[in-house]
Amino acid sequence: MIWKPHATVAAIVERAGRFLLVEEQTPDGLRFNQPAGHVENDESLIEAVIRETREETAWGFQPTSLLGIYQWRHPIKDATYLRFAFIGDVHDHQPEQALDQGIVRAVWMSVEEIRASQDRHRSPQVLTCIEHYLAGQHFPLHAITHLQS
């Protein structure tokens, strides 16, 4: 058997001390997560995070830097996730747009609210990314190279 991690992207957006999250339906009930999802075939990481943010929040997303790369193994599923988290800004909100299947709503939360809701996070990556962002961690986007075939 060949081991294959799930390549995912996530958007870290802060505006006036509040962070953009989504509340989504999961097998474990309603959970909070950053706008995030799987990278599709023939899609760059940056294209994926822009697409996922639009689909899940109805906001356009402009990445400005890479927050980090996170490896997490789900404690119950036989799955490992490689998350590429991007810092950026949102624009062009389309409130009439239907959100992705399973997404209940996009919500702006303070860091205190995020910390207090840890038991409802989709994964430990949610708070870890916020804490790394608050610590000032970031890397230039040119650290990522997308080679086209």
Domain for residue 86, yes or no? yes
Give dist(CA 81, CA 7) in Å, integer: 6
How does pLDDT run across 90-111, given as a tens digit for each residue?
999 999 999 999 999 999 999 9
CATH number, position 73: 3.90.79.10
Our count of domains for the chain comes to: 1
C-alpha dihedral (89, 95, 96, 101), degrees to nearest 10: 70
Domain for residue 40, yes or no? yes
Q: What is the mean pLDDT of the chain?
A: 95
Residue 97 belongs to domain spanning = 7-143
Domain for residue 129, yes or no? yes
Q: Which position has the higher pLDDT, 77 or 86?
A: 86
